[in-house]
C-alpha cells in the first residue's frame, strides 16, 4: 500500500517530534502495492578442500517489476562449506 492511508506523516511527526514536516502534499494517492520478482540461481563451482570442508560459488540474477519498485540484480556468492557426516547414530 502507498499513500496517506499508511499514516506515514503522523508517524514522522511522532518519531521525530516535528510540528509540520514538509513535502506531504506531494505524496502519492492511496493504491495497493504490487511487486513481481523472479530470481534464478546457478551453482558455478563446488570443490572439496580438505575432508569435510568445501568451497562453492553461486550466481544469482533477479528482476523485479511493479508499481512500488523496478530493479534488477546480479550477485555471485563465495562460501566455505563444512559438512559433518556421521557414520553411525550417537549412543
How does pLDDT run across 46-90, given as a tens digit for each residue? 888 887 888 899 999 999 999 889 999 999 999 988 776 656 655
What is the distance between the terminal CA atoms of the chain, rounded to a whole angstrom?
A: 55
In 3D space, the residue among 82, 80, 91, 40 whose CA is nearest the CA of residue 61 turns out to be 40
In the chain, the number of structural domains is: 2
Asked if residue 69 and residue 47 are part of one domain, the reply reads yes
Rounded Cα distance between 20 and 18, Å, is: 6
| Reported pTM | 0.56
Cβ within 8 Å of residue 63, ≥6 positions away: 37, 38, 71, 72, 73
Give residue 6's pLDDT: 85
Give residue 68's pLDDT: 86
The percentage of the chain sitting over the pLDDT mark of 70, rounded to a whole number, equals 89
78 or 23, higher pLDDT: 78
Asked if residue 7 and residue 51 are part of one domain, the reply reads no
* Domain containing residue 26: 1-32
Amino acid at each position: 500500500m502507498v499513500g496517506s492511508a499508511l499514516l506515514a506523516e503522523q508517524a514522522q511527526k511522532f518519531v521525530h517530534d516535528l510540528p509540520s514536516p514538509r513535502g506531504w502534499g506531494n505524496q502519492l494517492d492511496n493504491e495497493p502495492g504490487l511487486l513481481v520478482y523472479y530470481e534464478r540461481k546457478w551453482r558455478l563451482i563446488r570443490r572439496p578442500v580438505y575432508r569435510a570442508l568445501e568451497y562453492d560459488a553461486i550466481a544469482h540474477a533477479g528482476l523485479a517489476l511493479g508499481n512500488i519498485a523496478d530493479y534488477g540484480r546480479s550477485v555471485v556468492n563465495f562460501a566455505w562449506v563444512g559438512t559433518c557426516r556421521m557414520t553411525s547414530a550417537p549412543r
